[in-house]
Each structure stands twice: as structure tokens, then as C-alpha cells.
Amino acid sequence: MAKTILIVEDNDKNRILLRDILTFHGYKTMEASDGEEGVSLAKEMKPDLVLMDIQMPGMDGFEAIRVLRKDPMTWNLIIIALTSFAMKGDREKILAAGFNDYLAKPIDTRKLPQLMEKVLKVNVHVEKETNVCVRG
Ligand code: MN
């Protein structure tokens, strides 16, 4: 059965690009254009994976993951950050926030499906107490 990926991204162009690549690779997609919508769709639909933009107006990616990791319905979702920051230390900050992995923008159209396959294959979950991702 096709895995479902929720794309939470405020930039229309990026969202459409992500949807097109993922659909082409056989995934089902759902879309939200802001953090609030993303959080409620994640709770309602329980996707196999969430692609979460960090920089969004209103509720940003960091705030959205905080809400999702606290909720008993969504705390163990696989959530990948989409980031355009190129600063040192961001990786640590993103993983410390509870993201399972991250993808830098601009989106590499070959890297994206590889990453999706990798994270969906591995049994990943997040320790509820510590927000730390555990693999295997
Ligand atoms: Mn954005």
C-alpha cells in the first residue's frame, strides 16, 4: 500500500515540487500551507511521514513539532524538517527539537526520494520523555 506523506510548506512552488516528486515515486500526499493546518491534518490523518518546513508565518516548524511530539496521537510520527538555513549548528538544533532528519532547500529531486525510502524503511521512533530519535 502506498505510504502517505503530509507536506507542510507555506511556499506554493516548493509544495507543488514536493508533491510532484513524491507522487511520481508512488507516494500518496496531503498538503498543508501553514503550521496550524499541518498539525490538525497530522492528528486527523496520521500520515506515515511528515515533511515540515521550518520557516512559516504563524506557527513555524519548531512550534508545530513541539505540539505534535506532546500529543499522544502524534508524538511518534516520523517528521523531517525542510530547512533553508545554511548555518552551522542547525542540524543539532533541528534534531534536538525532535525531528527525525532534515532536508536542505533547494530540494534535491534525487535526494528526496532516497531520504523518504531510508526513513520509512528504518523503524524510527521518538522517546517520549527525551524527544530523542531512536532507530532500529
Ligand atoms: Mn517557508
55 CA from centroid of ligand 1 (Å): 4
Residues 92, 93, 94, 95: is their CA dihedral positive or negative?
A: positive
- Interatomic CA distance for residues 13 and 59, integer angstroms: 20
2 within 8 A of 28, measured Cβ to Cβ: yes
Cell of 33: 500551507
Average pLDDT, the chain: 89
pLDDT at position 132 over 80: no
Which residues crowd ion ligand 1, with CB under 5 Å?
10, 53, 55-56
Q: For residue 86, what pLDDT band results from cuts at 50, 70 and 90?
A: low
47 CA from centroid of ligand 1 (Å): 21
pLDDT at position 135 over 70: no
9 CA from centroid of ligand 1 (Å): 6
Q: What is the pTM of this model?
A: 0.88
